[in-house]
Amino acid sequence: MAAEAEVMDELRRLRARVPQLTGALAASVDGLVLVQDTPGVEPETVAALTATALSVAVRMADATGQGDFRELLIRGVYGYVATYAAGRTAVLTLLAQDRVNVGRLHLEGRRAGLRIGELVDAAAETEPATAAAGPALTPPTAPEPMPTRTRTPRAPRTPTTTPNARTTTDS
């Protein structure tokens, strides 16, 4: 992949912005390691498991009508595993300590996923024969505004009377 050095630079910048990250890996949607910085963790295993989890997450989002896959978060006793869509043919998986600010993890992970997706997709366009053969993802875009729920007006309540209700009369 021609963009390998640029993707590795993005992973290093991401780890500098989120110091609680313990690893970062960019993989193809079919489970092949593209670039990794995962000390103490077997990157091929993480990439393969990411592909498996991605397959289930894509199916779950589709079956529940939630739209295209964007991200997956797993929380374990010792920390987090977060996976983000990265273009049409890649994913970004981050490993983080349990004390990470999850909001910051998502913010930075989404940004890095967008950037890595641009790099990987551009490289795939120039090298079509080496593009990943797995299912293509819809590239993420800027977050869409949260949909607002419209409330259905309720029917007015009618007063109820009980058989033992007291009535008062003026005398």
Domains located in the chain, CATH noted: 4-130 (3.30.450.30)
Res. 148: pLDDT tops 70:
no
For residues 168 and 147, give the distance between their C-alpha atoms in angstroms, rounded to a whole number: 50
For the ranges 18-27, 35-44, 71-80, 154-163, which has the lowest average pLDDT?
154-163
For the ranges 40-54, 84-98, 110-124, 130-144, which has the lowest average pLDDT?
130-144
Whole-number percent of the chain with pLDDT over 70? 73
Local structure of 105: helix, strand or coil: helix
Confidence of residue 127 (pLDDT cuts 50, 70, 90): confident
- Strand locations in 38-87 (E): 71-76, 79-86
Does the pTM exceed 0.75?
A: no
